[in-house]
Amino acid sequence: MALIGWLEPPEDHRVLFADRASVVPGATFIKFVDPRETTMQIQTDPSGLPSAHGLYDPRFEHDACGVSFVANIKGVRSREIVTLGITALCNMEHRGATGAEAETGDGAGILIQVPDAFLRAVVDFSLPVAGAYAAGLVFLPADPTRAATAVATVEKIMTEEGLRPLGWRDVPINPDCLGASARAMMPIIRQFFVDDPAGAQGIDLDRKIFVPRKRIESALVGDMRTYFSSLSSLTLVYKGMFTTPELGDFFPDLWDDRMESCLALVHSRFSTN
């Protein structure tokens, strides 16, 4: 229940307006914050929203992004959780936005656990034990020469900060599913892998990665801009300038049987909110 505003009812009890998404159309319920849990109705304007009162004003109502979360409460990884996450994302197509070109969306993405078995099978270099390395998608400049310079800069800064670059992977993609605007802006997409020679793992490794990531963001700007959608030993993000169905179409990785997780957090972007 979202806090919208307060009013002073009889007997000086505080009253909390309920979010309109949780009430029936044309009415707003307010809940007394006292042990009796008394409930009553108040008047709404013709739009079905509450009338302006206190801190609440219906002019501030906006459409918003769509977010969904799927998890196995016992922490068991499975292919099914990833599939359910993608399905939930596609079911939120109405919560995303597009431009005049319907095939170019505001953005969509999915966060899952690092799929260790999958990554070991698809890279051509050795990886430490699960949790002892970080992986993430990197959006590099579209120009191959600039991308090569960006890769060298990423590795240099990571090394300067005491970390060890392990290698890069070209991520399989399917640009044919995108609209013309999204294809025109598409970066080179690769996965980067790094570990700590000192042996940091898990959240400790993620903390050590924070500083070099910020240095890279500052060093690579303009035509050289390089963006990490994530870089973690715990989670992995696939995202882009997609409509909700395009995420799975664009990244074949997401349909591999070895892509397993016990959680999936998905997001459909609505940038005009």
Annotated catalytic residues are 65
CA pseudo-torsion sign 96, 101, 107, 109: positive
Rg of the chain over Cα atoms, rounded to whole angstroms, equals 23
User: Of 117, 114, 120, whose CA–CA distance to 135 is shortest?
Assistant: 114
Residue for token pair 């490794």:
205
75 Rama class: left (phi>0) / alpha (psi -120 to 50) / beta: left
Cross-strand partners of 167: 193
105's CB contacts (< 8 A; 6+ apart) are 96, 97, 98, 182, 241, 242, 243, 244, 246, 269
Distance separating alpha carbons of residues 94 and 82, to the nearest angstrom: 21
